[in-house]
Structure 1
């Protein structure tokens, strides 16, 4: 566990960061010893270790598991059985994962102690920002957070997203810290009506535009959605500022009281300024124009979030993009110790106090893990090698043991003795017709190459997803693109020949297996791009939220299989789709 430190003192946090990234082996051994000694008498470990709590016995007898392997214990806990099934401390709640990968949220156990550790983790990261970005502490953060409803289990424990958990369970000290750091009042961020919350957070941000030192959200995709929301609502926001009166449709008590702290009188000068900037033909660099003292845009921009980098660069102009930290519902893992690094160079440094970390070797050529039953190769944190790919395996104080997170990480170097890694993507294949296996990283690179063709036309891919269409032979890949323009009121009707070129560019970016299968339509048919109406991906997000996902944690799935999601996509396809010609124009 992280040693205690002053959450408000960046110097104290930086000293601690250097300590924990230097004494890595000692800390990892201590973490595992503490977890095992605490939880040795739980039903799960007792049945596997029989009282033996040394590292060798742990590695020999405790299996590496997935969520499905562990689900029966989660089900028993949610149905009222005691926490000591897996953990010696009371489980205070369950964290509901985003559900992006599995289609439905997973329930991850969390103790009060580990919750406080995650709050401390955030202060470690914040200290790095203050160190590398001068003057950041002279203002506040306009960070867009959103909560979701809570699910009550049979036993009465609550399940909620990580962001909801943090926002709703801040103690007095942390609440004071929020007011010191954030532009938008806490009560607005905890409003469950996402639309009212987003509107009021934007309104507070505009009213305090000269006090905004950084702008962001947990994920890059949320920043993009906020910008699109601003494009649709700036007229009304200006009206509120000009009259000093909040729109009648804002009825949530928390939002009304939060905005009332700042919307105290008419401000026609500010309204005119915002109107002038928003009314220009292009929204390029709009963030810096509306918030002139902002020094960065913040949010996770790695993995599947990398597709939004061009949009963030468009909205942000010259503002640096800061990718903050890496973690999930299962465990907070690493921070970006070089927050001003280029998006393509972002690596995260593992904080060894947050859990016990192991790494399942992934063969890059085959992009498959070693056989999980016969030939499992798992290495310790201190034994990873630069340039190698690994699937992350975590053991936590809250009762997860040798749990496969499903993320593939590539080791890029070390900070002191702690490994640095780049997030490669989810381990699972996202598209496949036959022998071909296209992973998240491969698809993102291919689409990135095709996006370059859009630039001369001032077009942007606002969001995308994909599927493998097996309804006919041969099957083929289908990409759904939502397009946007860099200039106002431009028609989003690209030439069919141009989008056909995009199809070819994507196909040429795939590996030799795909291209061999694709040759002359032998086993894979021509890739297809379907352009969907503006707002389609907001509709997908709303659907996911209605099923229990969190707006703050929502990530557009790279590929979809759900029939319900496919119906939404197909219902929004514009009149034409664009498909590569049957004859392949590239060589093997």
Structure 2
């Protein structure tokens, strides 16, 4: 793997001008392309922009106006001064048209970008747990370079016939089927994860042919495509692990996120004997959620006593690191996002893979857009901002939250923290992503900023596809506090002590433990399911377990504040106990003070 050049700490005038020219070209394309959309013509958010371009609301003349009266630099000036920051609620009245019954093509065609979307990405919201939806459209190659690069990185080509285990889903939550003027269905638009949709678009996979895809096995992949249609998380893990174990020449494992990789490791360890039996006999077990694809799976699993014998001789993992390298001698890399909240499980993964297998990150991506690609894949939190597909701007976290304070790729400051703001190919304008990054350098080849991911601007906790906010965590504690005898303070972290990840609530009580405290974990689970639909779905599919409740010694949080003041030499008034704890040092400190688990 070629290493990138060392980052530079400041831009030359030539690089700054290159960045400016690239951003202006992208903006010009986006304005000219998306100006004919319903959102552009009707949105109140863009009324000042339309007026500044001398257009009345609903005018169709923007293409001509931009082509004849605005240079790219002039257009950027108009854009900068007249487009305010936006949030999802600005788009919701328009995007909700996709989910009206019936969905009329005339209402959704050219809604956010030209034509109909290829898919609609769904994501959890950062408030209230409501799902957000992002229509995603097909774009020309020169506006899809980050997508192409990410796809290339996620499925590397082996020079010696090795295989990749790529753990992605092709399932969908629902299908939107717009009706034309005659009342006939005109296309099918899957509502799915961003990764699912990108894979579908990149490989021209339409939902109408899913039954055919289930019968296919891509030559360089260990798992047949049928595994990608399994909705149950444990069964999904089992089948990917089974087909990966069948392949002695496995070279890479791509789990998208480190938390999924950790679950895969645990599944292989815990069910080792079951895997050997399946490989030896060529049988697919009766797992939950595989009924519709079991025959398709079975055709690719033939008895292999020799491979079963090899695995039996290797045996289950011992205390020594590097077990996976014994199973797969040619394994060279684990591909998974490992920054931010996904960093906590890295030590566990490294124990399984050992020192000779690299853990590599690929990108910072969200349902809204690709933000950045790995600069050095072995540096798990160093990314290069994408400069070809969308306009990416930066809102300083220490400035007022207004568009006039936005910085550009060519004038961001080294060492400063910014919230990312996106103007996208898919019709979002100065959209607040909520992700906070730290600018740490620039690529000497083209000047693009290099960043490290810091956090969500509004902190949350996540194990699977859910996003649970601080407000929701406080709400569920308020509701169940009486069962525990009264909670005075609390915080939450991810807990991977069991086979399925769960939330761990560290609580300090006001007095004695309540007589009904044993019911508290189930009550917390129920309240989280009520508040957050993705938590409900993922817990029902086996991705999230019932929360743990860990009772701390009296006075623990006061001691925590004192400890932080003493060790960090900071003012007492600025010390807060975080609602969500990701830092391993803080977590370990709290765990030492647990009196009992419920």
TM norm structure 1: 0.68
User: What are the equivalent positions in structure 2 for 1:39-438 lying under 5 Å apart?
Assistant: 39-46=34-41, 47=47, 48-49=49-50, 50=55, 51=62, 53=66, 54-79=75-100, 80=103, 81-99=107-125, 103-113=129-139, 121-125=146-150, 138-153=161-176, 155=178, 157-169=189-201, 171=203, 179-210=218-249, 212-249=250-287, 251-261=290-300, 263-267=301-305, 269-282=306-319, 284-318=321-355, 319-341=357-379, 343=380, 346-363=381-398, 370-372=399-401, 376-415=404-443, 416=445, 417-429=447-459
Report the alpha carbon displacement of residue 337 of structure 1 after superposing the two structures with TM: 2.4
Q: Deviations over 1:380-406 (max 9, x none)?
A: 222212111111111112111111111
Assess, with a 3 A threshold, how the Cα gap between structure 1 residues 179 and 195 changes in structure 2: closer, same or farther.
same
Q: Is the 8 A contact 2:217 2:223 kept in 1?
A: no
Say whether residues 1:36 and 2:68 are aligned partners. Answer: no
Give the deviation of 1:424 after TM superposition. Answer: 0.7
* Residues 1:136 and 1:419: Cα distance change in structure 2 (over 3 Å): farther
Within 1, Cα distance between the matches of 2:271 and 2:284? 13
CA distances 1:434-482 after superposition (whole Å, capped 9, x unpaired):
xxxxxx9xx9xxxxxxxxxxxxxxxxxxxxx975956699942333563
- Could you say if the C-alpha distance between residues 72 and 125 of structure 1 is closer, same or farther in structure 2, counting changes exceeding 3 Å? closer
Is the Cα–Cα contact under 8 Å of residues 421 and 432 in structure 2 kept in the other structure? Answer: yes
Q: Is the Cα–Cα contact under 8 Å of residues 43 and 86 in structure 1 kept in the other structure? A: yes
Q: In 2 relative to 1, CA 43–26 (structure 1 residues): closer, same or farther, beyond 3 Å?
A: same
State the partner residue of 1:561: none
* Between 242-251 and 576-585, the greater mean CA deviation after superposition: 576-585
Partner of 1:25: 20
Query: Structure 1 residues 322, 255: closer, same or farther in 2, change over 3 A?
Result: farther
Instruction: Give ranges in structure 1 of 5+ residues lacking alignment.
Output: 1-9, 15-19, 364-369, 432-439, 444-464, 489-498, 505-520, 522-529, 557-564
Q: Greater shift after overlay, 89-98 or 402-411? A: 89-98
Measured in 2, the distance between the counterparts of 1:418 and 1:551 equals 42
- Secondary structure, counterpart of 1:274 in structure 2: helix
Match of 1:476, SS state, is strand
Partners of 1:115 and 1:67 in 2: how far apart?
Answer: 27
CA distance in 2, matches of 1:93, 1:547: 23
Q: How far has the Cα of 1:286 moved from its partner?
A: 2.6
SS in 2 for 1:113: coil
Q: 1:172 and 1:95, CA in 2 relative to 1: closer, same or farther beyond 3 A?
A: closer
TM-score by length of 2: 0.67
Q: Offset of 1:28 from its aligned partner?
A: 1.5
Q: 1:215 to 1:78 in 2, by over 3 A?
A: same
- Whether the aligned pair in 2 keeps the contact of 1:337 and 1:348 (CA below 8 Å) is yes
Contact 2:528 2:536 in 1 (8 A): no
Aligned residues, how many? Answer: 470
1:479 corresponds, among 454, 469, 492, to: 492
Question: Contact 1:22–1:418 (CA<8 Å) still a contact in 2?
Answer: no
User: Could you tell me how far 1:177 is from its partner in structure 2?
Assistant: 12
RMSD (CA atoms) = 4.5
Taking the aligned partners of 1:555 and 1:23, their CA distance within structure 2 comes to 45
User: Retained in 1: the 8 A contact 2:131–2:534?
Assistant: no
Instruction: Compare 143-152 and 173-182 and name the one that shifted more.
Output: 173-182
Structure 2: how far apart are the matches of 1:248 and 1:383?
58
Distance 1:270 1:29, change over 3 A: same
Deviation at 1:87, TM superposition (A): 2.3
Structure 2 residue matching 1:97: 3-state secondary structure: strand
- Is the partner of 1:265 in helix, strand or coil? coil
- Cα gap change, 1:546/1:116 in structure 2, threshold over 3 Å: closer, same or farther? farther
Asked if the contact 1:136–1:213 (Cα under 8 Å) also holds between the matched residues in 2, the reply is no
89 and 336 in structure 1: CA distance in 2 versus 1, 3 angstrom threshold: same
Cα distance, 1:68 vs structure 2: 1.7
